[in-house]
Amino acid sequence: MTTTSSLPPGASVVEAGKLISTNPATGEEVARLPVATAADVAAAVERARAASVWWAGLGWRERRRRLLRWRSLLVARIQELAELMHREGGKPVDEALLEIVVSVDHAAWAAKHARKVLGPRRVGGSLMQSEYAAHLEYQPFGVIGVLGPWNFPIFTPFGSIAYGLAAGNAVVFKPSEYTPAVGQFYVDAFNEVVPEHPVLQIVHGSGETGAALCRSGVDKLAFTGSAATGRKVMAACAETLTPVLIECGGKDALIVDDDADLDAAAEAAAWGANFNAGQACVGIERAYVHERVYDAFVGKLVARTEKLTVGEQVGPITMPGQRDIIARHIDDALTSGGRALLGGPDSVQGAYVKPTILVDVPESSAAVREETFGPTITVTKVASVEEAIALANDSAYGLGSAVFSKRHGMAIARRLKTGMTAVNSAFSFAVLPTLPFGGVGASGFGRIHGADGLREFTRAKAIARRRLPSLPPLLTFDRKPSAVKLALAVTRLLHGRDR
């Protein structure tokens, strides 16, 4: 390892055809990997297309066996991978370990449930056309392109990679230029398990490489990143009508009702706002607290948050430019009338940002309206749950949310305009492999995880099979007037009355 002194910590640059990633805390060089040109990306997709035929032909049982071997290999190397995540992305090692734990659990679930979710089945027919049997199955697209983020360099891509592979697709993966070595690690591990064909390939580079993947002829593309980049991805894929799955971050809100367990709510808020240094699309950035418990909640939140250790529990900000955004949001909140109960104007200190709690912040502030992606949270007093729901929903984003209430948690959760909600917890919807993960509005569309995540990477194939003669025949020019008359009589009998 060397220190790349000419670059700021965490910088990612291309030099002599190599992508260089650096440690966001120290500036130490972590990896140099070859940059893929547009021609390289196109060639990878062509290799994947041939590999996808072989991979799909293996069948459910053999794909399951190999995916579970991949999972086990990553578990065997979990400490090594966690240390690499720490060096390249700055994530504390214990958080990196937890990310890997959750990721391999998702991979295992996808491998074990793919056949049940996607396999051929007979479905109900129709009394009007009882001579036909209806069959449904889900067929792989072929080649899936995946553009991964840097903040969860395993967990988020695995929602597309592992589920796409389990569904029978080959995958071409471009990791974030800030965490390329992490992606290379688990792609190499997969290729140890599946050496016969390039079923899972990786291409490195910056935005140009990602754009090339969008235009490479993949059969579907999955993207996680900013809304601005997501729009560019959609525009590029629209040129060839390539379907996309888009996850563009969020501005998640926490609602604390007057009957909430305040200790648990404060702990969840401290965790949700500060884990991974706040660099989480489902991190809690806003809290709306009932006025009857507001003071007590804020006191508990401050007490819990001020115990966090910067550099150990709260790691560095991975992407250098993000520090400027965090500083701008804090400054805007304070200049518009807000107060910092913890942190403040000096929260951004080099590569690190101290946990910051802001109160009395106007809803029009950037700290409330825009995604901050740092260890900050705004806390707002509300007169009722109705007001809390209205404010939580008053956002362009709609990814995740959280509710603390002993009596009304589920009812409140159903009214929040988000793809996911945790009740009396935070982030829990993401760790359950059975639940789909994704958002609405500016947070994007499509789902990873769960049965919906498996179906996301397949085409529904409908098959109608004749099993009996048509009496009378209707789907023909040879039908007789009596056949139409009979069809009308049956229609009136089945559908002519409300029942």
Catalytic residues: 247, 281
Q: Decide: 209 and 36 in contact? Cβ < 8 Å.
A: yes
Could you tell me which of 320, 330, 325, 262 has the C-alpha nearest to residue 292?
A: 262
Query: CB-based contacts of 211: which residues, under 8 Å, 6+ apart?
Result: 232, 236
482 membership: H or E segment, kind and range:
helix 481-495
The long-range contacts involving 95-99, CB below 8 angstroms and separated by at least 24 positions, are 95/275, 95/276, 95/315, 99/152, 99/154, 99/155
Kindly give the residue spans of alpha helices, DSSP state H, lying in 58-206. 59-76, 78-89, 93-118, 155-166, 180-193
Report the C-alpha gap between 42 and 217 in whole angstroms: 8
DSSP secondary structure string for all residues of 243-282: -EEEE----EEEEE-TTS-HHHHHHHHHHHHHGGGG--TT
Give CA angle at 413 (407, 419), nearest 5°. Answer: 160
DSSP 448: B
Give the CA distances from residue 373 to residues 121, 134, 274, 327, 352, in Å, rounded to whole numbers and listed in that order.
44, 48, 10, 11, 13
DSSP 36: P
